[in-house]
Chains A and B, each alone.
Chain A
Amino acid sequence: MATEAHGEETGGLVFHPLDQFIVKPLFGEIGDPVSWYTITNVTLWMALAVLAIVALFVFGSRGRAIVPTRTQSIGEILYGFTYKMVEDVAGKDAIKFFPYIMTLFMFILFANYLGLLPMSFATTSHIAVTAVLALAVFLTVTIVGFVKNGTKFLGLFWVSSAPLALRPILAIIELISYFVRPVSHSIRLGGNIMAGHAVMKVFAGFAAVAAISPFAVLSITAIYGLEMLVAGVQAYVFAILTCVYLKDALHPSH
């Protein structure tokens, strides 16, 4: 319905860059109501992410070879990379959160890259998804902080190295920045992915004009390359920020 209305707009330039993010039921009409259990394109692309992860990490390593095959080697590199990141950034005692961070990292990584396939659906571009991920991290970090350190965790907000007069103000700033964390954490990921995909669609709209279509196609190619980088970097940043927050929770003293 919305698509039809957009088509009425002027000339050959038709921009509706956000239509690619519409959640629609996989079986049925676009206008059908979406209840919580409906199988939608979200379900499809998340399931594909799961399949890709299983293919890489379970079937890829089923040989348990001492000299790894290529697939097993990729899985081992990702494992080693994440393990080292958790160890270096969050500390040795954060290793027990390694499967948790690995889950988040791999889901975001695979969802980002699957979202870059043409005609696909980028699940991580939705604020609902990234907000749940960020809130999960936020809640984990807060609970772990209080369980591990008790009330000493509140020392995170009380900067003991600052002059006494400044400490209440700093405490307020620290508190605000602590609660802004999930917001920025989720919007950074969702916004980056959505922005990249929307920009590609905008350039695709320019390709309808013959005079600038070569430029548009070249631009799409270049931006696609950039988005390949962004997809990896955003997943990495999400994971490493999780590690940083976890380090704060485990060692709250500044």
Chain B
Amino acid sequence: MEGDIAQLGQFIGAGLAGIGSGAAAIGVGHVAGNFLAGALRNPSAAGGQTATLFIGIAFAEALGIFSFLIALLLMFAV
């Protein structure tokens, strides 16, 4: 029974950690959206900033991946 409660906790924790993926999705959308807004205002400067866009997306995405990793660890490694 004790083990079952521990497993319950693992699964609940994994589910909660999964929220982080959604938050990362919001962050990535924010980055891309703001880039698009800026690019439409000044299209000539947009081309040189795609690298910055990808770096920003990567940073936002990485944190979401961390939460996904936590979920995986809770599910399979703990």
Contact = CB atoms under 8 A, between A and B. Distances in A.
Give yes or no for direct A-B contact (beta carbon below 8 Å): yes
Interface of A: 18, 85, 88-89, 184, 187-188, 191-192, 194-195, 198, 233-234, 236-237, 240-241, 244
Interface stretch (B5-13, B31-39, B57-65): B57-65
Query: Which one of A85, A191, A192, A233 has the greatest number of beta carbons of chain B within 10 Å?
Result: A191
A187 B69 contact: yes
Contacts of A195: 65, 68
B76 A191 contact: no
A89 B50 CA distance: 12
Given A18-B76, A237-B58, A241-B58, A188 B51 contact: no
A187 B54 contact: no
Nearest to A191: B65
A188 B65 contact: yes
Consensus secondary structure, chain B interface = helix
Interface residues of B, number: 14
B51 A85 contact: yes
A236 B55 CA distance: 9
Nearest to A193: B65
Query: Which one of B51, B57, B65, B68 has the greatest number of beta carbons of chain A within 10 Å?
Result: B65
A237 B54 contact: yes
B61 A188 contact: yes
Nearest to A15: B75
Given A18-B76, A191-B69, A198-B72, A184 B62 contact: yes
A188 B58 contact: yes
A18 B72 CA distance: 9
Nearest to A85: B51
B61 A241 contact: no
Contact of A191 (B55, B57, B62): B62
A240 B75 CA distance: 33
Contacts of A198: 72
B55 A244 contact: yes
A191 B69 CA distance: 7
Interface string B38-78: 00000000000001001101110110011011001000100
Contacts of A236: 54
A227 B62 CA distance: 15
B51 A187 contact: no
Contacts of B66: 187, 191
A240 B55 contact: yes
A187 B57 CA distance: 15
